[in-house]
Amino acid sequence: MIVDVHAHALTRAFLSELAREKALGIEAREDGFGFGGYGPLDPLLYTLQVLTPIAFIGLLALAGWNVRQAFLEKRRWFVKVWAVALLLSAAVLLWVVAAFNLIGFGTNY
């Protein structure tokens, strides 16, 4: 039971961190636009570009771990369905990111 709570909490924390990183990335792009790729926010952009793939893959891994824990601990059916739905949504999110080339390196927009 404790591990299941931790799995769910870690997955939610990872999602909020991912949303924060993307919000900072969008904000940094808007502030750094027009500097020709040599803006003061380039180090932040490079950091976000390195952390974003780690975050997406980590989200998928944590969601998979959450599913594993839900089935190993013989949780109720709703917990199992929710864990599988979370895993599927993480997989779709990773697929969209990969299919539309949303992960890339460079600051020339």
Render pLDDT for 57-80 as a digit per residue (tens, 0 to 9): 999 999 999 999 999 998 899 999
Task: Identify which of 17, 14, 22 has the alpha carbon closest to the alpha carbon of residue 44.
Answer: 22
Task: Identify which of 59, 46, 52 has the alpha carbon closest to the alpha carbon of residue 86.
Answer: 59
Q: What is the pTM of this model?
A: 0.61
Report residue 95 CA to chain centroid gap.
Answer: 12
Task: Give helix 2-32 / helix 42-72 axis angle, nearest 10°.
Answer: 160
The per-residue pLDDT for range 8-50, each reduced to its tens digit, is 777 776 666 666 666 666 544 444 444 455 677 778 888 888 8
Whole-angstrom Cα distance, residue 46 to residue 56? 16
> Does residue 73 come out as left (phi exceeding 0), alpha (psi in the -120 to 50 range) or beta?
alpha
- CA Rg, the chain, in Å? 17
Sign of CA dihedral 72, 73, 76, 79: negative
